[in-house]
Structure 1
């Protein structure tokens, strides 16, 4: 089975959950299918021989709207996909490539929805008129795909709500996964010392992009009032727009004036250092206002850390309220609810340890990438059998 996997992000250029998903899915799919990954980046002849083909936006579009530059990458991908029996696209950045390959070569198109453009209106800040183009590309690809994979049951319902013309029988739930060998408790603390953390004080940890989707402004306001003994660690970078970047910096400065122990890490840390930070955090916080699943919660759980997260999207399918962490309603009381939940975990280290152990067990037992790859390959076979 010759499969083309289409994505924007692929190592070493991974900055979000979709990129993490594709990285590990590709690794586990390789023994099961003849896999060729098409992604963004500078082309490498060596990688082409190892099943990775990188494409960059056309130089004639340098400085143009990002949606147009994305479409140029999609066209380059399509031209390189001849001979593949099935294509599988991830995110709107590659969906159009999947749709055009289906149309040009007459092969099935499987699409994994990691998020939905109609549910992210703030993307208009980032893309301007390009948001209309990204929305068009996603709708066209979703409604025409032979199969659509939702990363959670909540995401499946969102897909059907946003795209009612889509046949529900073509939408399948295959959860995101976690490598519990890479993400596991690490007793080392050298990464903490490099960041400047006080090992004698507990800390609240956030890891994510600076975007409205991740609820970063709400978090910065919520942690003002948590236990003053706790440190706050923000592994936050890649702002979507200058506006959200400026808002983050202003809120960070305000927070740093009213409490000590605030640490902002704006760069992407190597995975081993992130694992250390996750391991030793008193609590991990995920304040997303929209989240189809949230791989980062699985990463924290796999490291044995309790999670405080918003009760949105697919997060309740990962974080079991009162067992592996606490869920907070993303309503008018959201910020105060985050404060209360974080203080509750910080105040009871014994219960926090118990939730962390339960989270690790759940990550290992329910979300292994090997099983997810097998389910994905089985879906490929079903789709090819129906073609």
Structure 2
């Protein structure tokens, strides 16, 4: 009797993920997003990662070095050079998925060259970060041009929050709203969880028995560090302030921050500044021991760092801007500080003194009531575990891929259908 052989399994969708940051070289939230998303997507699609920098050992991860150009060329041109190489390597992909303007051009070029769909995740928008002109000069105009071209032509856009989606449609009115999907950032609560060790605190001279207010972020206009430092003059004098600072965007913001820290240290003790990326264990210990985690951002499409604090059981005080209210529930997992902002894209508070005073009042409210802070922290931990898993983010991202292929008439194929 003839028995028909089983059909060969359908090939999985090949997705080329295009990004500047990828482990072990990560410096911001977009890099964390890409790294965690990639882990989960590998179970769903045939994933190839293309990133910047030194060679990686990981299978299906290719890195491209920025090449030196003759003369004193703007760094943005070197970025575009990498994008050309990345796009060339995307031959054979079924779909490309770019993250941030640093890789958007590669997605746009591959889309045009090979006729394949381009999905772009927006972690922030260049027109809403005008302070980057300090950092990039004419490169800021170039980065804005790249982003606009890529987002307006992408087959689908992924926004990391509903607030980010609203920003996309406001800044780029040519974008079809039906092409913009929301997939929230996630948190790996197996990796980010309370760590009650004190070695990191002791190493940096932080007293584990004193109240602790913690900031973690880059030294950039976007993160609101100068506003936090001005608010800190009014913090409860019993509290320590620990600033875990990433690399400054410009010499100007570096000098402004250093001057404010010096001024603050003249009137209160317990001000500790830590420069550079902390190792995971040290970060977890600071997040766990913090009485309050503060996110004073003036522009924050989502804010993974708030999820990291919540996953360690710490109450959050954050600015009520961008996608932060979608993460931090006011009165439930933390306190939100309202702010009226300039509408010129800078996010500058209309009344900086009032904003700083409100920020200080929210921090002091939790410092004065540790039991309340603990309840908010416990609720934040529960919310991080149940609502913000990266597996869910990957499944929703795959659903966007399927919708793009279906619209183009290429699918979805049975082997790509989600089960959620």
Between 323-332 and 206-215, the greater mean CA deviation after superposition: 323-332
Equivalent residue, structure 1, for 2:311: 302
Task: Determine if contact 1:203/1:283 at 8 Å carries over to the other structure.
Answer: yes
Determine the C-alpha separation between the residues in 2 that align with 1:150 and 1:122: 22
Determine the C-alpha separation between the residues in 2 that align with 1:33 and 1:13: 24
**By how many angstroms is 1:63 displaced?**
4.5
CA deviation map 1:348-378 (0-9, x unaligned): 0000000000000111111000011011112
CA deviation map 1:203-246 (0-9, x unaligned): 10000000000001001111111000000000012100111011
TM-score, length-scaled by structure 1: 0.98
Equivalent residue, structure 1, for 2:156: 147
Within the candidate set 348, 371, 374, 2:395 is matched to 374
**By how many angstroms is 1:383 displaced?**
1.0
Within the candidate set 340, 346, 368, 1:347 is matched to 368
CA deviation map 1:94-148 (0-9, x unaligned): 0111000100011000000000011111111111111110000000000000000
**By how many angstroms is 1:59 displaced?**
2.2
**By how many angstroms is 1:61 displaced?**
5.5
Alignment of 1:105-124 (within 5 A): 105-124=114-133
**Secondary structure in structure 1 of the residue aligned to 2:197:** coil
2:48 aligned with 1:27: no
Within the candidate set 104, 126, 132, 1:95 is matched to 104
Equivalent residue, structure 2, for 1:8: 20
Structure 1: state its 5+ residue gaps: none
Greater radius of gyration (CA): 2
Between 374-383 and 167-176, the greater mean CA deviation after superposition: 374-383
Equivalent residue, structure 1, for 2:346: none
Task: Determine if contact 1:150/1:175 at 8 Å carries over to the other structure.
Answer: yes
**By how many angstroms is 1:23 displaced?**
0.7
TM-score, length-scaled by structure 2: 0.90
2:331 aligned with 1:322: yes
Task: Determine if contact 1:61/1:68 at 8 Å carries over to the other structure.
Answer: no
Aligned length: 384
Determine the C-alpha separation between the residues in 2 that align with 1:61 and 1:93: 21
Task: Determine if contact 2:69/2:78 at 8 Å carries over to the other structure.
Answer: no
Task: Determine if contact 1:61/1:69 at 8 Å carries over to the other structure.
Answer: no
Determine the C-alpha separation between the residues in 2 that align with 1:295 and 1:226: 25
Determine the C-alpha separation between the residues in 2 that align with 1:257 and 1:7: 43
Alignment of 1:1-387 (within 5 A): 1-44=13-56, 46-47=57-58, 50-60=59-69, 63-331=72-340, 332=351, 333-387=354-408
Task: Determine if contact 1:236/1:264 at 8 Å carries over to the other structure.
Answer: yes
Determine the C-alpha separation between the residues in 1 that align with 2:72 and 2:40: 37
Task: Determine if contact 2:319/2:338 at 8 Å carries over to the other structure.
Answer: yes
Answer 1 or 2: which has greater helix percent: 1
**By how many angstroms is 1:64 displaced?**
2.0
**Secondary structure in structure 2 of the residue aligned to 1:5:** strand
Determine the C-alpha separation between the residues in 2 that align with 1:87 and 1:4: 5
Call closer, same or farther: CA 1:191–1:61 in 2, change over 3 Å. Answer: farther
Structure 1: which 4+ aligned runs deviate by more than 6 Å? none
CA deviation map 1:59-92 (0-9, x unaligned): 2258421211111111111111111110000000
